[in-house]
Structure 1
Amino acid sequence: MSEDQKKQLEQQLWNIANTLRGKMNADEFRDYILGFIFYKYLAEKMEIFANGILKQDKLHFRDLKTSDIHNAEIIEAVKEEALEKLGYFLKPDELFSEVAKRGNSDVVGISNFILEDLQKILTNIQLSTMGTDSEEDFDNLFEDMDLNSTKLGKTPEARNEIISKVLSHLDKIDFKLENSELDVLGDAYEYLIGQFASGAGKKAGEFYTPQEVSMILAKLVTTGKDKLKSVYDPTCGSGSLLLRVAKEVKEVGDFYGQEMNRTTYNLARMNMILHGVHYRKFDIKQEDTLEHPQHLEKQFEAIVANPPFSAQWSANPLFTSDDRFSQYGKLAPSSKADFAFVQHMIYHLAENGTMAIVLPHGALFRGGAEQHIRRYLIENRNYLDAVIGLPSNIFYGTSIPTCIMVFKKCKEQPEDVLFIDASQHFEKVKTQNVLKEEHIDKIVSTYRHRLEEGKYSKRVPLQLIADNDYNLNIPRYVDTFEAEDIIDITIVSENIKKIAIETTQINARIASFCTELGIPTPF
C-alpha cells in the first residue's frame, strides 16, 4: 500500500468517526468508532480463519446456517479450533458484514433494526472465551459501547440509523487482513488514536504518547538488539508504546503492561489484538501500578514509560519495606510520584535490560527525597546512562518541557553519564512543537554512539555530577550559552556624534526653506 493510499484510508476512517460525533466529546465517540473497527477486525479474522479450515470441503463460513444440524456440527468444530488459535469465536450470522447488510436492508418484510442483535453479538464475543486461556484478555472488552445511550440518538430508531450508517461505511473498507505482511488496519488504528488524543486536551496523556516520543523511547531501549524476550510498560495507556518497541526489532517474546484507567485498559487490549499480537503473548493488567503492582515476580529486557507527570501517590510508610523501594532509604514524595515510577521500573529491569522513562524537568533537580534517590541511583548503583532534554509543548495537554532518563544495570560506559540537550531542535506546527525525523535520528545516533557535540551533548564524569550534589539539570553540563557580539563603545560614540552633526545640518536647510516660503520652521 502506497503512502497516498494509507493517508486516504486514514482520512476515510476519520470521516466515518465524525459521523458518530454529534454531541459527544472526543473520549466518547472514540470508544464507539474504535470498538466498531475492532469488531470488524475480529469478524474478518474469524472468517479468514474459518474459510481456511473449510477450504478442503469447498465451504464458505458465512454460508453456513446455524439452523441446519449438519452445519451446526461443522460450526462447533470451527469454534473449537478458533478458541484455541484466535482466542474467541463468532457465528456466521454474527460476522460484521452480515450485520451491516441487515442494518441497511431495504427488502420488504426484513427488519433492519440491529441494535439488540449487535449488543448481543458484542457480549457473545466475550462469552465465547469463558473458561478458556483468553478469557481475561476479552473480559468486558466492549463495556464502553452502550448502544442504548441517548448520545447516539434520542430514540432507538435514531440510534439504529446512525449505527447502521457507520457499519455500512466501515464494511466498504478493505483492511487487507489476508496479506499478513501489511499492518494496514494497525497503522490506521494508531492514526485514529493519535487524532483523538490531539483533540482530547488534558485527558490525552492518560492514553497516548506522541508518536515521535514513542519512537525515541523504542529506539533507545532496543539499541544493539534485534530480538527482545520481553517489553514492559507500567503505565501503558493504549499500548501504543509497547507496540512501537516491537517495530524496532525482529521479534518480541512477550508484552506486559499495567493501566489504571478502565476504558484505556480496554483500548490497550484491543490495540494488542488488532496488531496481531496473540492473546498468549500479552499480559495487560488493570490496576494502580504503584499501589497494586501486578507483575512483581518478573524482570524485563526492555522497559518504557510515559507516566503521568508529578502525579500524587500514597507514599505509604509500609512501602519502605517493599522490595521496590526499601534499598533507597527514602520514598518519593506523595505529591510527586515521578521517582516512585523510576524505582518501580528499576526493580523490574533485567540485568541486560534498558529502561527509558519520560519525566518533567523538575525530576532532574528537585531536592529532598528525590535528590536522595538520584544520589543512590548514581553513586551507589551507577544505573543512570543518559539524560535527554526534549522541547517544550510536544505533549498533548501540557506545554512543560520534559526529559528522558535512560537507565541500565550493566552500562557499557560506566565512568560517565551522557547528557543531550535537544530542547531547541524541533519544528513548530500550528500551536504544537513537533520532532521531525531528523531530530529523532540525531538524538538516537548521539545516544548510540555517545557522541559529544558543542551546545548539544556531553559525556559527564560521575565525579562532576557528585560535585553538583546530583543535580542533573542539563544546562549545568551542556553549555548552550551564545556569546553576544562585542560592541566597541568608541565607535558607537563617534557614530552618534556624526548623526548629531548631520541632523544639525539638515535642520538648518529645512529652516532656510521655511524662511523662503514665509512659513514658520517646525522646530
Structure 2
Amino acid sequence: MGAELNQKLFSAADSLRGKMSADQYKDYLLGLIFYKYLSDKLLESTVVKAYKSLDEYNTVAKQTELYKSYILDDKSKDFFIATMSDTLGYHIEPQYLFSELANAVKDNSFELVHLKNAFVRLETAYKQFEGLFDDIDLDSKQLGVDANQRNITISEVIKKLDEVDVLGHDGDVIGDAYEYLIGEFAAGSGKKAGEFYTPQQVSDMMAQIVTIGQEDTPSFTVYDPTMGSGSLMLNVRKYLNNPDRVQYHGQELNVTTYNLARMNLILHEVSAEDQRLHNGDTLNKDWPTDEPYMFDSVVMNPPYSANWSADPTFMDDARFNRYGKLAPKSKADFAFLLHGFYHLKTSGTMAIVLPHGVLFRGAAEGTIRKKLLEDGSIYAVIGMPANLFFGTSIPTTVIILKKNRKGRDVLFIDASNDFTKFKNQNKLEPEHIKRIVDTYKNRESIEKYAYLASFEEIKENDFNLNIPRYVDTFEEEAPIDMVTLGAEMKAINEEESKLEQDIYDMLLQLECAEEDREWLNGVLEVFNHEK
C-alpha cells in the first residue's frame, strides 16, 4: 500500500513539476489528500449510519448516490446533516464531494471556483477547519499564467489523487505522504522541510519509551511543544491500553506545519475535545499556562541549535530560573529541553531529540547540564545513527528525562551502528528499536553497546556526557600474520622486478628516429641505474 501511495503522489507531483519549487508540492498534495479523506470518510460513514452493507455499497459511486438520497431529500436532510455533524464533526454538500469534483474534471465541467467554494464552505461552517486550507493558493500564478491554465493544473492533480485509497491505506496516510514528499522533493532542494517531521521509526521508539509504566493510565496526556506534523504525539497511543482516552497538546511556530498537524489529528479521528493545538513561538511565550499545563509525557524534536532571544528577563521565567544560566542565543537546544521538562508531570517521562553538542559543550550549557545531572533529571542518553533525519546527516541523541527520582545514575546506549543503509536515508529496523527499548527497560551495561554510569563517574568526567566516554565501541584489529605478510611482499617485489625487466627488453627492441635516440638512451640509463 505504501508503494502504491508513493506512486500516485509522484504522478500527481508531475502535474506541478516545472511550475513551482519541489518543496511546495506538499502544500497542494497534502491539502487535497486531506480533503479527499474527509469526503471519502463522510461517504463511508453514510453507509454505516444508514445500516447498509459496505460489501453492497463498495464503490464511491454507490456511496455517493446513497448520500445524495438522504441529503437531497427535504424530509431527511436536516436530521441527516445533524447526524453526520455529530458523528464526524462536519458534512459536505454533494456537489463539493471530492468524488464529484473528480467526475467534473473527467467530463471537463470542473472549474477552480468549485474547489475554492468547497474549502470556504467547510472552513466557515466548522471551527476546527478554520484556516486549514490557507496554504492551497488556487490563485497562485505558479499554477498557471491565467485562470484557464490554473484550472488545467489542478484538474490534473485531482484526477490523479482520485485514485488514492486514503481509507484503505494501512498506516498514517498524511504522515506517510509527508515523509515521502519531503524525501523525494524537499530534502534535495536545500529546504529544511525535514525539521518538521520525525521519521516513523524514531518516533515509534520514543513513544514506546515515554509510555513505559504508564500503559494503564485511565486518561493520558501528551505534549509536544515543537509538534511539526503531529506524528510524534500520535504514535504514543499505540502503546497505551486506553488509546481512545488520550489528550493531545501541541504547539508549532510554522503556520503551514501547524495546519498539517491539525489535519493529521483530524484524520486520526481525534475529537475536537481531545486536541488542544496552538500556533505560536514556544520559547518566547510559554504555552500552555492554564490547566492542564503538566503532562504524562513530553515528546520533542525541536530545530537543532536554533537562534532565540535569550533575553535576560527569562531568568525570572519559571521554566529556566532554576538552572543558573540561559541557553546561548545561537543554540536554543537547552531552552527547548527545559521548556518541555517544565511541563512534565512528576510521574511522567520526556524524550527529546537533540544534536550531540548538548552532551559536552561548556559555558552556559555546561552549567545547565550539571544542574540537571545533580537533580537526577537525566535518566538515559541514546546515541542514534547518522543520516536518519531529512535535511541533516548529523548523528543525533535522544535524551530521556524524569522528575523527582531517587537515583542520579545515567544509562548510556550507543545505537549509532545499528541501522540499515538506504539510498538517501539510514533507517532503524524493528529489531534495532527492540534492542534499544529492551536495553532501556533492563537498565544494565552491555559490552560495546550500553553502560550504566554512576553519578560519581559522571562527576569525575566534569559532567561531560559524550557517549564514547562511557561506552567503548572500539574494535581491535585482527593480529597481523607477519609470515604471510612477508611472503606477500616478496611476491609483489618479484612481480615488480619481472615487470621492469619486460619493459626494459621492450625498450631495447624499439626502432626510433635519430632525433629520438638521445631520449631513448636516457630512459635506458634510468632503468640500468635503478637495477
TM-score over 0.5 (shorter chain): yes
- Aligned-pair CA distance for 1:494: 11
Select 2:186's aligned residue among 196, 200, 215: 200
- Aligned-pair CA distance for 1:193: 0.6
- Aligned-pair CA distance for 1:518: 12
For 1:451-466, what aligned pairs fall within 5 Å after superposition? 451-466=444-459
- Aligned-pair CA distance for 1:197: 1.9
- In structure 1, the residue matched to 2:104 is 102
Cα RMSD (Å)? 3.2
- In structure 1, the residue matched to 2:515 is none
- Aligned-pair CA distance for 1:160: 1.9
How far apart, in 2, do the equivalents of 1:48 and 1:295 lie?
A: 37
Counterpart contact for 2:11–2:160, Cα < 8 Å: no
How far apart, in 2, do the equivalents of 1:237 and 1:227 lie?
A: 27
Verify: 1:422 aligned to 2:415, yes or no: yes
How far apart, in 2, do the equivalents of 1:243 and 1:344 lie?
A: 21
What amino acid maps onto 2:67 in structure 1?
Answer: F
244-253 vs 258-267, which moves further: 244-253
Aligned CA distance change for structure 1 residues 410 and 122 (closer, same or farther; 3 Å): same
- In structure 2, the residue matched to 1:82 is 84
How far apart, in 2, do the equivalents of 1:223 and 1:80 lie?
A: 41
Aligned CA distance change for structure 1 residues 518 and 466 (closer, same or farther; 3 Å): closer
| Partner SS state of residue 76, structure 2 | helix
- Aligned-pair CA distance for 1:37: 1.2
- In structure 1, the residue matched to 2:37 is 41
Select 2:321's aligned residue among 319, 326, 335: 326
Select 1:402's aligned residue among 372, 382, 396: 396
What amino acid maps onto 1:191 in structure 2?
Answer: D
Aligned CA distance change for structure 1 residues 257 and 148 (closer, same or farther; 3 Å): same
Aligned residues, how many?
Answer: 486
How far apart, in 1, do the equivalents of 2:445 and 2:307 lie?
A: 37
Hey, which bits of structure 1, 4+ residues long, moved more than 4 A? 50-56, 484-488, 491-496, 517-522
For 1:239-278, what aligned pairs fall within 5 Å after superposition? 239-250=230-241, 251=243, 252-278=245-271
How far apart, in 2, do the equivalents of 1:457 and 1:173 lie?
A: 44
How far apart, in 2, do the equivalents of 1:499 and 1:30 lie?
A: 62
How far apart, in 2, do the equivalents of 1:494 and 1:39 lie?
A: 68
- Aligned-pair CA distance for 1:83: 3.4
- In structure 1, the residue matched to 2:306 is 311
- Aligned-pair CA distance for 1:301: 0.8
Aligned CA distance change for structure 1 residues 162 and 317 (closer, same or farther; 3 Å): same
Counterpart contact for 2:101–2:110, Cα < 8 Å: no
Verify: 1:366 aligned to 2:361, yes or no: yes
How far apart, in 1, do the equivalents of 2:88 and 2:509 lie?
A: 102
| Stretches of structure 2 lacking an aligned partner (at least 5 in a row) | 53-62, 511-523
- Aligned-pair CA distance for 1:96: 1.5
| Partner SS state of residue 172, structure 2 | helix
- Aligned-pair CA distance for 1:64: 5.1
Aligned CA distance change for structure 1 residues 72 and 324 (closer, same or farther; 3 Å): farther
Verify: 1:60 aligned to 2:60, yes or no: no
Verify: 1:290 aligned to 2:283, yes or no: yes
For 1:107-118, what aligned pairs fall within 5 Å after superposition? 112-118=109-115
How far apart, in 2, do the equivalents of 1:484 and 1:105 lie?
A: 70
443-452 vs 351-360, which moves further: 443-452
Aligned CA distance change for structure 1 residues 212 and 323 (closer, same or farther; 3 Å): same
- In structure 1, the residue matched to 2:467 is 474
- Aligned-pair CA distance for 1:487: 6.3
| Partner SS state of residue 60, structure 1 | helix
Aligned CA distance change for structure 1 residues 124 and 463 (closer, same or farther; 3 Å): same
Aligned CA distance change for structure 1 residues 76 and 386 (closer, same or farther; 3 Å): same
| Partner SS state of residue 24, structure 1 | coil
| Stretches of structure 1 lacking an aligned partner (at least 5 in a row) | 107-111, 130-134, 177-182
- In structure 2, the residue matched to 1:233 is 224
Counterpart contact for 1:47–1:62, Cα < 8 Å: no
How far apart, in 2, do the equivalents of 1:53 and 1:191 lie?
A: 29
How far apart, in 2, do the equivalents of 1:173 and 1:403 lie?
A: 36
Counterpart contact for 1:235–1:258, Cα < 8 Å: yes
- Aligned-pair CA distance for 1:475: 0.9
Verify: 1:163 aligned to 2:154, yes or no: yes
Counterpart contact for 1:62–1:93, Cα < 8 Å: no
Query: CA offsets, 1:422-460, max 9 Å, x none?
Result: 112222222433222222221121111113211111000
Counterpart contact for 2:373–2:408, Cα < 8 Å: no
Aligned CA distance change for structure 1 residues 171 and 368 (closer, same or farther; 3 Å): same
- Aligned-pair CA distance for 1:185: 6.7
- In structure 2, the residue matched to 1:357 is 352
Aligned CA distance change for structure 1 residues 350 and 480 (closer, same or farther; 3 Å): same
How far apart, in 1, do the equivalents of 2:234 and 2:336 lie?
A: 21
Counterpart contact for 1:54–1:61, Cα < 8 Å: no
| Partner SS state of residue 41, structure 1 | helix
Query: CA offsets, 1:387-436, max 9 Å, x none?
Result: 0111222221112221110011154x725210011112222222433222
Query: CA offsets, 1:60-95, max 9 Å, x none?
Result: 3223575xxxx3563333333333332223122222
Counterpart contact for 1:122–1:142, Cα < 8 Å: yes
What amino acid maps onto 2:288 in structure 1?
Answer: H
Select 1:125's aligned residue among 103, 122, 126: 122
What amino acid maps onto 1:419 in structure 2?
Answer: F
Aligned CA distance change for structure 1 residues 118 and 373 (closer, same or farther; 3 Å): same
Percent identity (aligned):
44
How far apart, in 2, do the equivalents of 1:205 and 1:175 lie?
A: 23
How far apart, in 1, do the equivalents of 2:31 and 2:509 lie?
A: 87
343-352 vs 210-219, which moves further: 210-219
